């Protein structure tokens, strides 16, 4: 399972590119397929490449890139084939240079592009970010930046945390429901906006606060300005940020991710108790959940699976046979922990079930007496339309299957998922302020053919 990306914006008296580079390193977990940095040096200049941070920028001397303001992006998509398709997206418009880095998905992007093409806009990239840049450019001819951004927000649907540059001005914007995270910090000689607080930490900075849903923030080397453009009664924070995507040492909307995961493990242990010798986390995604499960159950936690941290990404492995052996390449059981033992295997989620089936089989092959699987998210029964790589129901093992049917599929002795109520309790966030679309089938944004949750519509603020 993969997430869309991570974004950064920096305004500093120093060269911004160096700070952005380090911040993107801290956000590498959010995207490994491509990366980019755009800075203003008389005009906006864009530096992009494919691969991990070190690969993407190996042709550029970061220390010599001038410009005191800039934005950055890390991206995941196996569809990318050229550096030009990486972000930030840069357009030279009649309103000036506009660069955009986006975390999320615009669900009405095709309608927007069609409307803009009818107005005479030609698309070079064909991306939703290009459409947003055109929306802004058209509005900036007559409106202030904040009014132009609000106009664009009324036109777009979906999830988004943006960092963007309008010539030499740099901003961060979060969607009105707060689906994707974004935060603000103070760094040496400047300010930063980023997807997660770890990007601030790596620069030795000070976390100030989360960007509020519906808020636009402009940063300068000397401070920041806030524009609260849209306010919704209820939010829709993505619960998977806490369960899986964010780094465990990040804070998102006032919650430390590690503590949230540990609480999820505690609740999971109470909901699905089991007799076993060891609690074994799947590294690294299940580790904090496993510690919580261990504390609540009294079953000792043990590192029964060792991870090869140097394995290549799946899609670049040279042959199908090697790709199929990926689990054995990535994970290897510790014989003294596994052989003859009853194991509780803890992970954050099961999406397709293929990997979990292989891991259960691997433990049995190495002598596990019993394998009990415990999952710190509810069953994923519906697609995500907001930037997570699980887009069709036929990919999801829990779609249309009972827990017992899933257990048989993965070969476990027992299977327990945390309940939706348990998830909400562990996170300590009002259920009405979470996006639970993938586990309930009800979405906070209107999706054609899908159920729309109690919020009814977003027409209220579109008509203002």
CB contact at 8 A, 162 and 101 = yes
Identify the residue whose tokens are 């880095």.
Answer: 101
For the purposes of burial, counting CB atoms within 10 Å of the CB of 211, is it exposed (0-12), middle (13-18) or buried (19 or more)?
A: buried
Facing residues of 69 across strands? 11
pLDDT at res. 459: 45
| pLDDT at 326 (0 to 100) | 72
Could you give the CA distance from residue 90 to residue 200 in angstroms, rounded to a whole number? 25
Contact call for residues 96 and 47 (beta carbons, < 8 A): no
Cα 49 to Cα 85: distance, rounded to the nearest angstrom? 9
| CA dist., res. 246 & res. 3, Å (int) | 10
Grouping H, G, I as helix, E, B as strand and the rest as coil, residue 10 is strand
pLDDT of residue 368: 97
Side-by-side strand order, sheet with 278-281:
278-281, 342-347, 370-375, 414-417
pLDDT for position 390: 65
Query: Catalytic: which of 5, 183, 384, 435?
Result: 5
Cβ neighbours around 82 below 10 Å, total = 9
> Is 5 considered catalytic here?
yes
pLDDT of residue 125: 81
How many helices (H) and strands (E) in the chain? 17, 25
Of 280, 264, 282, 296, nearest in space to 370 by CA: 280
SS3 labels along 353-408? CHHHHHHHHHHHHCCCCEEEEEECCCCCCCCCCCCECCCCHHHCCCCCCCHHHHHH
Span between the terminal Cα atoms of the chain, in Å: 38
| Structural domain boundaries in the chain | 5-236, 252-427+434-440
Sequence-distant (≥ 6) Cβ neighbours of residue 143 within 8 angstroms: 151
Query: Cα dist. 59→6, 14, 35, 242 in Å?
Result: 22, 22, 13, 35
pLDDT at 25: 97
Contact 246, 181 (CB under 8 A): yes
CATH of the domain spanning 252-427+434-440: 3.40.50.2020
Dihedral angle sign, alpha carbons of residues 279, 284, 289, 291: positive
**With contact defined as beta carbons under 8 Å apart, do 383 and 393 qualify?**
yes
> pLDDT truncated to tens, each residue of the chain (464 aa)?
445 699 999 999 999 999 999 999 999 999 888 999 999 999 999 999 998 999 999 989 999 999 999 999 998 765 555 666 789 999 998 889 999 999 999 999 999 999 999 988 888 888 889 999 999 999 998 899 999 999 999 999 999 999 999 999 999 999 999 999 999 999 999 999 999 999 999 999 999 999 999 999 999 999 999 999 999 889 999 999 999 999 999 999 999 999 999 999 999 999 999 999 999 999 988 999 999 999 999 999 999 999 887 765 544 445 656 655 677 778 899 999 999 999 999 999 998 898 899 999 999 999 999 999 999 999 999 988 887 766 678 889 999 999 999 999 999 999 999 999 999 999 999 999 999 999 999 888 888 878 877 544 444 444 44
Can you give the pLDDT at residue 460? 46
Please give the CATH superfamily to which domain 5-236 belongs.
Answer: Aminohydrolase, N-terminal nucleophile (Ntn) domain (3.60.20.10)
15 burial type by CB count under 10 A (0-12 exposed, 13-18 middle, 19+ buried): buried
Count of beta carbons in the 10 Å neighbourhood of residue 394: 8
| Residues 38, 20: Cα–Cα separation, whole Å | 9
C-alpha 190/C-alpha 68 separation (Å) is 9
- Between CA 144 and CA 149 the distance in angstroms is 9
Q: What is the pLDDT of residue 457?
A: 44
């Amino acid at each position: 399972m993969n997430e869309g990306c991570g974004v950064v914006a920096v305004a500093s008296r120093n060269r911004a590119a160096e700070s952005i580079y380090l911040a993107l390193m801290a956000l590498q977990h959010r995207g490994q397929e491509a990366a980019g940095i755009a800075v203003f040096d008389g005009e906006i200049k864009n530096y992009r490449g494919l691969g991990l941070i070190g690969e993407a920028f190996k042709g550029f001397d970061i220390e010599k890139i001038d410009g005191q303001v800039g934005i950055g992006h890390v991206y995941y998509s196996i569809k990318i084939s050229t550096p030009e398709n990486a972000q930030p997206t840069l357009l030279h418009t009649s309103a000036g240079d506009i660069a955009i880095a986006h975390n999320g998905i615009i669900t009405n992007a095709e309608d927007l592009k069609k409307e803009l093409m009818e107005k005479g806009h030609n698309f070079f990239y064909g991306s939703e970010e290009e459409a947003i840049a055109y929306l802004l450019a058209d509005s900036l001819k007559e409106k202030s930046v904040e009014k132009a951004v609000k106009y664009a927000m009324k036109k777009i649907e979906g999830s988004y945390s943006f960092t963007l540059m309008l010539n030499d001005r740099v901003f961060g914007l979060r969607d009105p429901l707060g689906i994707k995270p974004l935060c603000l910090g103070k760094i040496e000689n400047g300010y930063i906006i980023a997807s997660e607080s770890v990007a601030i930490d790596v620069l030795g900075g000070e976390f100030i606060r989360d960007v509020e849903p519906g808020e636009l923030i402009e940063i300068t080397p000397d401070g920041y300005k806030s524009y609260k453009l849209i306010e919704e009664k209820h939010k829709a924070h993505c619960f998977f940020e806490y369960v899986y995507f964010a780094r465990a040492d990040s804070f998102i909307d006032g919650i430390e991710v590690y503590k949230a995961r540990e609480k999820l493990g505690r609740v999971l242990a109470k909901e699905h108790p089991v007799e076993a010798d060891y609690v074994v986390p799947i590294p690294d995604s299940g580790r904090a959940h496993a510690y919580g499960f261990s504390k609540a159950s009294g079953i000792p936690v043990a590192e029964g699976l060792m991870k090869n941290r140097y394995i290549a990404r799946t899609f670049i492995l040279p042959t199908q046979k090697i790709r199929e052996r990926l689990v054995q390449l990535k994970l290897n059981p510790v014989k003294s922990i596994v052989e003859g033992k009853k194991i509780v295997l803890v992970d954050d989620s099961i999406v397709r079930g293929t990997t979990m089936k292989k891991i259960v089989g691997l433990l049995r092959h190495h002598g596990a007496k019993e394998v009990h699987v415990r999952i710190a998210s509810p069953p994923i029964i519906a697609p995500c339309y907001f930037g997570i790589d699980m887009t069709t129901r036929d990919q999801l093992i829990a779609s249309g299957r009972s827990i017992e049917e899933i257990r048989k599929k993965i070969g476990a002795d027992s299977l327990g998922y945390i309940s939706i109520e348990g998830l909400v309790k562990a996170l300590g966030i009002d259920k009405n302020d979470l996006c639970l679309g993938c586990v309930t089938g009800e979405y906070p944004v209107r999706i054609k053919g899908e159920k729309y949750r109690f919020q009814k519509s977003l027409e209220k603020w579109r008509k203002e």
